[in-house]
Amino acid sequence: MKASLKWLKEFVDIDFMPQELAESLTMSGFEVEGIETVGMDVQGVQVAKILSIDKHPNAEKLSVCEVTTDKERYRIVCGAENIGVGDMVPLALPGAVLPNNVHIKKVPIRGVESDGMICSEAELGLGEDSERIMIFDADATLGMGIHEYLGISDSILNISITPNRPDCLGIIGIAREIAAITGRPLKKHPSSPGSCDDRDIAKMISIENELPSLCRRYTARIVEGVTVRPSPLWLKKRLEMHGIRAINNLVDITNHVMLEYGQPLHAFDYDLLDKRRIVVRFAEDGESIETLDGIIRALTKEVPVIADGAGPVALAGIMGGNRTEIGEETQRVLLECAFFDPASIRRASRRLGLSSESSYRFERGVNIEGIGPVIDRAAEMISEIADGRVICGSVDVYPDKYVPPKIEVNTDRINSLLGTDIKEASIKQILKRLGIELKTSRKKGVFIALPPAYRLDIEREVDLIEEVARLTSYENIPSTLPKARISPVEKGRMLEVNDTAREILSDYGFFEVINYSFVAQSTFNIADIDKTEAISLLNPLSEEQTVLRGYLFPSLLETLKYNINRENRDIRIFEIGRTFEPDDRLPVEREHIAGLIYGHRYGLSWNQPKDQVDFYDIKGSVEHLLDGLKIRNASFDGSKDIPFLHPGKSARLFLDSDEAGFIGEVHPATLKALDIEESAYIFEVSADIFSRYYMPFGKYKAIPKYPAIKRDISFITDRTIEYKKIPQYIMSLDAKIIEDVELFDVYCGRNIAEERVSMAIRITYRSIERTLTDEEVSHFHSRILRELTDHFKIEIRDVESNTVKL
């Protein structure tokens, strides 16, 4: 809500700086988001009168005027055609500064010296008209600065009004609040009933309210003999400063009154109202209305309308219709001022997708008791500004009078919720300043508060507690520390898994990314989930964000692409976030951890190998992750059927028999579709399943007391034999004295048949009870060689008795 300081001053004395006012408003719950100073960019322009106009001797389109400011006469060259002798115009003399920092100087124009310039609205920054010289009223004071004359030097406060305070969607409401904060009185407009035509208004219009619970008050007045024309400049300017476009004097008056009181009004052309009838009712299916914005709107029976004998003439509380619009021919006006049920207006406004200054106020709630003065003020302004003749009285349909809620207030309860020690007298004083009526109660320690009709937000005691706190100032409420029993805190296994995973992955070179939970349908499809499983947003912001993620890795691929496009070439990223799968009502949400690697293993560096990452990099990362989380019992099973992964370079991860995720090279077809040239490797695992297996404290194992003996075996085997089976088999022979089996070389290529592979393993023998002898190890080792040869048909290449005693 924009509020002019000058306008506010009509209702409350403000003798401090706008910044100070802004500070007090902000600190009492009306955040001032900015202060705009208007009318300051024009300096030294004054009112002058045109004494004569002659043709320019050297230019057909120019004229030479003589003007006066009462003190002196000036010669001005001018190109506009709208001026006449006697017109009052804005005159800029040397030294004047116009908007955009234009400095006025004495200059010759086509051979005639011009002492200055007479200006258009556009040149003064006051309007859009640049063709015509701005002409003031004939009674303007010669020589007066145009600021002063137009009253355009002002400060506009941009105040954020919270939804609970619609009473401050008008100048008077804000002034009332300032009065309450500062303790100064609120000034009222001097009521000038003026003269009126005492014909019986009730015979001129019939008002039927079919929706008494929706339209709780409907008041109408009639003004005759109006002249519709542009508004006087001050009115246009004032509306413009408050963000409303001037239209004509009648419409401008209704807007002015709305800005002043926060109560919307509507003006109908009385003579265009069919059968002189107003009916407040729901639209009928099939009816339509062309609203003032020129759009024809089909209506349904949920939309409340104002109708005449022929059909809807306005969308109740939202916007008027074209059929009864005020125009140049309008002579008689019917003014409408009403109270509509906030929720109903909000529903209708949303249903129609149409909101206005009017609906904005109605859906928050207007002052049902304040309607009389508002419509009187509008009628008065019409008679003043549009030459209208007011018909006495109004038609006021207001069957159920407003009854304020009676709220019990207990001083102790106020103080115990706020943690204060405010005396009852101070509390009462604060409430009274806010226009709240107080009564005594028979109950001890309690009094009764009756809020005014414009404070619809005050319904119960806590609302009053807030008012007390607000006017006491939050800054004056002492801060204390809550008393609480010391209690154990638990972070939860899931958060611990996530935090540990973050540490491990970032330690191993992965950057954490955060992607949106919603992705494009095409991104969702990368994961090859059944499309019916997609959870779509009803109202996405863009095509790129329409469905909730079923997996994280498609987003990682998008992130990869984004980075490749920005020349970031070696990528290790991970993300921890939720995935969504449809279920009965709410979707199932699963926490996933996903990672992606791409490009060089070490980046471009003079002293590191320039290898590209491969499958075993991603596998190693996941192995590190499992290790760091102390998850045992993990196994990788080669799988050929994960559609978005390379069939020969992918695996499922199992924790015991629980499938916990997958790793692998992204399928070349998937990469091609994304225009990614080199191989990318991904993993995605379930943090939920991880959290079930994760051990915050792995048990300590004693450091061995006895030395180990290590023996290496080098052998050639069929590629079809999975390596994993070899150590498994060895360990199964006698796990007691075999501590470890490590693979330290794999080779295929020259000297090895195509379907074969050469491997080298090192077996560590150790007993936890005694020192093993060479003989027993040799004996056992020969058995292993024998068994491996028999079982796997391996061919032993070299048996190095690489004995290391530790």
Partner 1 sequence: MRERLEQLEEDALRKLSAAADKDIVTELKVRYLGRKGELTSITRELSKLPEDERRSLGKLTNDIKKRLEEKITTLLNDFSVKEQEDSLKSGILDITLPGRRPPLGRIHPVTRVMGEVEEIFLGLGFEVAEGPEVELDYYNFEALNIPKDHPARDMQDTFYIDNEILLRTHTSPVQIRYMKTCRPPLRVIAPGKVYRRDSDLSHTPMFHQVEGFMVDEGITFGDLKGLLIVFLQSLFYKDIGIRFRPSFFPLTEPSAEVDIRCLICEGKGCRVCKDSGWLEILGAGMIHPEVFNSVDYDSTKYSGFAFGVGIERITMLKFGIDDIRLFFENDLRFLEQF
Candidate ranges 232-240, 292-300, 330-338, 456-464; the one touching partner 1 (CB under 8 A):
456-464
Interface region with partner 1, contact rule CB under 8 A, candidates 211-219, 529-537, 687-695, 776-784 = 529-537
Q: How far is the CB of 509 from partner 1 (least distance, A)?
A: 3
Task: Give, as ranges, the residues between 388 and 417 that touch partner 1 (CB under 8 A).
Answer: 416-417
Beta strands in 205-290 (DSSP E): 206-209, 215-224, 266-269, 277-282, 288-290
Judged by beta carbon, residue 567 or residue 790, the one nearer partner 1 is 567
H or E element at residue 424: helix 424-433
Report the DSSP beta bridge partners of residue 743: 761
Q: Is 482 in the site for partner 1 (CB under 8 A)?
A: yes
Nearer to partner 1, 373 or 550 (CB): 550
Task: Show contacts with partner 1 in window 553-582 (CB under 8 A).
Answer: 559, 562-563, 566, 568, 571-574, 577-578, 580
Pairwise CA distance, residues 628 & 624, whole Å: 6
- Spell out, one character per residue from 343 to 372, where the chain touches partner 1: x when CB under 8 A holds, - when not: x--xx---------------xx--------
Stretch of 225-233, 388-396, 433-441, 510-518 lying at the interface with partner 1 (CB under 8 A): 510-518
Q: Which three-class secondary structure state does DSSP give residue 497?
A: helix
- Of 450, 494, 721, 731, which one interacts with partner 1 (CB under 8 A)? 494
Which residues partner with 579 through β-bridges? 590
Total of chain residues touching partner 1, rule CB under 8 A: 97
31 scored as a contact of partner 1 (CB under 8 A)? yes
- Nearer to partner 1 among residue 23 and residue 41 (C-beta): 23
Residues 33-52 that bind partner 1 (CB under 8 A): 33-34
Pick from 397, 465, 629, 674 the residue near partner 1 by CB under 8 A: 465
The yes or no reply on residue 304 touching partner 1 (CB under 8 A) is: no
421 binds partner 1 (CB under 8 A): no
532 touches partner 1 (CB under 8 A): no
List the one residue from 138, 425, 586, 735 that touches partner 1 (CB under 8 A).
Answer: 586
540 part of the interface to partner 1, by CB under 8 A: yes
What is the nearest approach in angstroms of partner 1 to the Cβ of residue 480? 4
Confirm or reject binding of residue 694 to partner 1 (CB under 8 A).
no
Binding segment for partner 1 among 8-16, 161-169, 262-270, 422-430 (CB under 8 A)? 161-169
Q: Which stretch binds partner 1 (CB under 8 A): 130-138, 254-262, 601-609, 642-650?
A: 601-609
Nearer to partner 1, 322 or 355 (CB): 355
Restricting to residues 608-647, name those near partner 1 by CB under 8 A: 608
**Phi, psi torsion values for 26, nearest 5 degrees:** -60, -45
Binds partner 1 (CB under 8 A): choice among 244, 382, 548, 645: 548
Distance CA 49, CA 68 (A): 5
H or E element that contains 561: helix 553-565
Helix, strand, coil percent values for the chain (each to nearest 5): 30, 30, 40
Tokens matching residue 350: 């949303």
CB of 492 to partner 1, least distance (A): 6
DSSP strand E in 5-42: where?
Answer: 32-38
- What tokens appear for 123 in the block? 């040149």
Structure-block tokens of residue 114 = 């011009």
What is the longest distance spanned by two Cα atoms in the chain? 131
In the complex, least distance from residue 460 CB atom to partner 1, rounded to whole angstroms: 7
State how far the alpha carbon of 650 is from the alpha carbons of 484, 523, 667, 678, in Å. 53, 21, 10, 17
Residues 591/577, Cβ–Cβ less than 8 Å: yes
Q: What are phi and psi of 741, to 5 degrees?
A: -125, 120
- Window of 127-135, 536-544, 637-645, 761-769 that interacts with partner 1 by CB under 8 A: 536-544
592 contributes a contact to partner 1 by CB under 8 A: no
Report the SS3 class of residue 711. Answer: strand
CA-CA distance, 83 to 115, in Å (whole number)? 18
Cα distances from 693 to residues 560, 614, 628, in angstroms, run 31, 28, 12
Task: State the Cα–Cα distance between residues 589 and 105, nearest whole angstrom.
Answer: 73
Specify the residue, 216 or 256, whose C-beta has the smaller distance to partner 1: 216
Q: Is 213 in the site for partner 1 (CB under 8 A)?
A: no
Task: Tell which one of 53, 369, 511, 799 touches partner 1 (CB under 8 A).
Answer: 511
Whole-number Cα distances in Å, 265 to 317, 516, 663: 9, 45, 67
Position 509 contacts partner 1 (CB under 8 A): yes
Q: Is 477 in the site for partner 1 (CB under 8 A)?
A: yes
Helix (H, G, I), strand (E, B) or coil at 618: helix
Q: Is 319 helix (H, G, I), strand (E, B) or coil?
A: strand
Helix and strand numbers, DSSP H then E, in the chain: 21, 39
